[in-house]
Structure 1
Amino acid sequence: MEIILAAPRGFCAGVNMAVTSLDLAIQYFGTPIYVYHEIVHNQYVVKTFQAKGAVFVDELSEVPEGATVLFSAHGVSPEIREVARTRKLFAIDATCPLVTKVHLEAIKYAKEGYTIILIGHEGHDEVIGTMGEAPEAIVLVEDEAGVEQLNFPANGKLAYLTQTTLSVDDATRIILALRERFPWVESPPKEDICYATQNRQEAVRLLSQEAEIVLVIGSQNSSNSQRLRELGREQGKDAFLIDGVEDIDRNWFKGSDRVLLTAGASAPESVVQETVEWLVREFNATVREHAVKEENVHFPLPKPLRQLVKDGSLVE
């Protein structure tokens, strides 16, 4: 067996910032630290922080008044921020700056009287937060069939935005369908799908040509990880999404396969290495890392934590 280890893979800058923020918050404020929704969509990360004393909640009513709460990387709506203020919570906002960009675009378009078509997955934390910025102005579309059901006047102001973790190919198809039906629809100055999502998809698209099997490390509720598995299958490969080695079925492999191994943007490198070690041990696999692009993106910590680090209260 040969393992083709894709790069880039794993943590993006937004996930790294959010995870570091929660680590530092636990260090400074002690536990319990409350987190609104999963800090990132990865079960390994969530369980690791639960063991450290983080409490993940789906409603702010579960957080005691005056406590510290950290908003996850996926962002929250203005309504949630207001509830946090009402309950006198000390809120640390670990929203990915690329998600914040989409929020700001939604606010801008709504103020200018546009109807906004948001391309994304219903119920995803990021979509809920973005729609909360201007619920009266945003219509959600999940696929090309949804585009066919839209009706807007020809003189209406129309713009589209996208969830940051979509499949680039899927988003492109939906955008083309939108432009065909509504040629006057406006787009954001810079596309919304994040650099890391695009880079990981590009790596799978290119490197899967050399493999028989695509193994993606990530959780089932991770949108960008699901897209990587789907992309592998679209390339005609056997593709599987796993949280870790405990999810691997030996019957997937013949023993002489070339396996493309990658990880979604919220999956830790430690789990990648555990998977590599398992495949090497079980199948005497060799490992070849193949980088298709370099990533050197870093996002600053949320303001409260930046100040603490600056004051010397915390050591990064």
Structure 2
Amino acid sequence: MGAHGHDPRREPDHRRPFGAGAPARVERCGRGRHGVRSACARREAGRLHPRDQRRARPRARRPRRRGAAERRRRLSRSCPRFPARAARDRPRRPRCQGGVEAVGGCRVSKRVLLAAPRSFCAGVDRAIEIVERLLEQYGPPVYVRHQIVHNEHVVRRLEALGAVFVEHEDEIPRGEICVLSAHGVAPAVKANAERRGLRVVDAVCPLVSKVHAEARRYADSGHVVALVGHADHVEVIGTRGERPDSTVVIESAEDAERLDPGGKPIAVITQTTLSLDDVASTVDALAARFGDLRRPDADDICYATQNRQDAVKEMVARGATLILVIGSETSSNAQRLVEVARLHGAAATLIDGERDLDHGVLDAHGTIGLTAGASTPEELVQAVVAQLAAAGYGELAEIEVAREDVHFRLPREVVAT
């Protein structure tokens, strides 16, 4: 009781915003401040703020997470005496920023650099169109001496349309159409076909025809023609056939050392699908030995060959550690693309299509360069791009080093009148 006979506990408690009745014993616990009844006191009084009601609900027990302590317990099994040392000495996986996990545990970005230009050149386009138009105009069969271009997919597609590929003109029945391949032939082949009554349509690339003309001109002016190329390639066989007695095939710098011109001046011509670096080294070897000679024209190497090789070099310079070249084994220009990539420090593989992709090899490379030989259809490139995307190479960047707008006229035999 107070001095005036009243009980202060009966005074209205303005600090209690909820409930009424007998005051509860005030305990300073939880978050109570300045005499305000704490949650514990209000809970005892049976009047709780909704917020406190939510807090007072029993919480479901959370599942125990396996943290550092659990990992140490597991590691202690392998080193029960020194568990901390076992955890410390455990080999750790190296970490890299971003990307996907690759060989060695390192995470790298997966991307594809796509060469531009790539695939068909103007000469290949022209040769294929000639065969297709002949099939439309005359119907099958249309005979083609040698593969029209060095790509198995192109050959199989044309065979399905009715083209028949042979290795010698004598295999073609008299009176039938005989298409000469894009690689060119010796004059004797064309003369033999005409003598047998075959209707000859020449699908040789105009750039190859230019090299044939140079061989004739140099030989007729008294030069020894040094033909830089591969002796067993069909293009070289055809070019040498222009002037076989005056032409010597030079495959390497070693061949240049053995050349004996017999006192005659030397003129150099080249196979159109060679590596620019190979041609330069061989020509330099000839110049070092014989001094004054007629060097090959700058455009003896096909523009398409040069552009595709430049694109490979640019992809390597931009970080591609693996170059995939789509093309057939018989394709000289595709083989040279592989050589150029390796010469500039990248791994390189020749594949025929998406089925040849080796995912074990791909996983070791974060950036892959993709190109195709001049006789490879673009649809094969897109199929490989799709397969690489499925393998995790989602980033695609096109590396353009040149724009090609070259077109060659069709022969009069297939031009619609």
TM-score by length of 1: 0.94
TM-superposed CA distance for 1:184, in Å, is: 1.8
Bigger shift: residues 233-242 or 137-146:
233-242
TM-superposed CA distance for 1:233, in Å, is: 1.2
> Higher relative contact order by CA 8 Å / sep ≥ 6: 1 or 2?
1
TM-superposed CA distance for 1:188, in Å, is: 4.2
For residue 398 of structure 2, the aligned residue among 262, 271, 289 is 289
Q: 2:328 is matched with which residue?
A: 219
Is 1:260 aligned to residue 369 of structure 2? yes
8 Å Cα contact 1:68/1:89 also seen in 2: yes
8 Å Cα contact 1:225/1:241 also seen in 2: yes
Aligned amino acid, residue 113 of structure 1: G
- SS of match in other structure, 2:225: strand
Alpha-carbon separation, structure 1, partners of 2:404 and 2:338: 21
Q: Which runs of 5+ in 1 are unaligned?
A: 312-316
For residue 197 of structure 1, the aligned residue among 301, 305, 314 is 305
Alpha-carbon separation, structure 2, partners of 1:256 and 1:211: 8
8 Å Cα contact 2:112/2:393 also seen in 1: no
8 Å Cα contact 2:322/2:365 also seen in 1: no
Q: 1:272 is matched with which residue?
A: 381
Alpha-carbon separation, structure 2, partners of 1:263 and 1:208: 15
- SS of match in other structure, 1:28: helix
Q: Which runs of 5+ in 2 are unaligned?
A: 1-109
Bigger shift: residues 11-20 or 232-241:
232-241
TM-score by length of 2: 0.72
Structure 1 residues 214, 284: CA separation in 2 closer, same or farther (over 3 Å shift)? closer
State, as a whole percentage, how many aligned pairs show the same letter.
Answer: 45
- Provide, for residues 1-58 of structure 1, a one-character-per-residue CA deviation record: whole Å limited to 9, x for no partner: 2111110111011011111111111111111111110000111111111111111110
RMSD of equivalent CA atoms: 1.2
TM-superposed CA distance for 1:152, in Å, is: 2.6
8 Å Cα contact 1:37/1:57 also seen in 2: yes
| Number of matched pairs | 307
Q: 2:272 is matched with which residue?
A: 164
Alpha-carbon separation, structure 2, partners of 1:16 and 1:116: 30
Alpha-carbon separation, structure 2, partners of 1:157 and 1:255: 52
Q: How does 1:74-223 map to 2 (within 5 A)?
A: 74-154=183-263, 156-209=264-317, 210-223=319-332
TM-superposed CA distance for 1:110, in Å, is: 1.4
8 Å Cα contact 2:314/2:399 also seen in 1: no
TM-superposed CA distance for 1:286, in Å, is: 2.0
Structure 1 residues 166, 189: CA separation in 2 closer, same or farther (over 3 Å shift)? closer
Alpha-carbon separation, structure 2, partners of 1:248 and 1:103: 39
Q: 1:314 is matched with which residue?
A: none
8 Å Cα contact 2:270/2:296 also seen in 1: no
- SS of match in other structure, 2:307: helix
- SS of match in other structure, 1:305: coil
8 Å Cα contact 2:224/2:247 also seen in 1: yes
TM-superposed CA distance for 1:303, in Å, is: 2.1
8 Å Cα contact 1:33/1:69 also seen in 2: yes
Alpha-carbon separation, structure 2, partners of 1:188 and 1:205: 23
Alpha-carbon separation, structure 2, partners of 1:291 and 1:37: 33
Aligned amino acid, residue 200 of structure 1: R
- Provide, for residues 169-209 of structure 1, a one-character-per-residue CA deviation record: whole Å limited to 9, x for no partner: 00000000011111121124544111000010011011112
Larger radius of gyration: 2
Alpha-carbon separation, structure 1, partners of 2:203 and 2:228: 23
Aligned amino acid, residue 243 of structure 2: A
Higher helix share: 1
* Greater than 6 Å deviation, 4+ residue runs: none
8 Å Cα contact 2:240/2:247 also seen in 1: yes
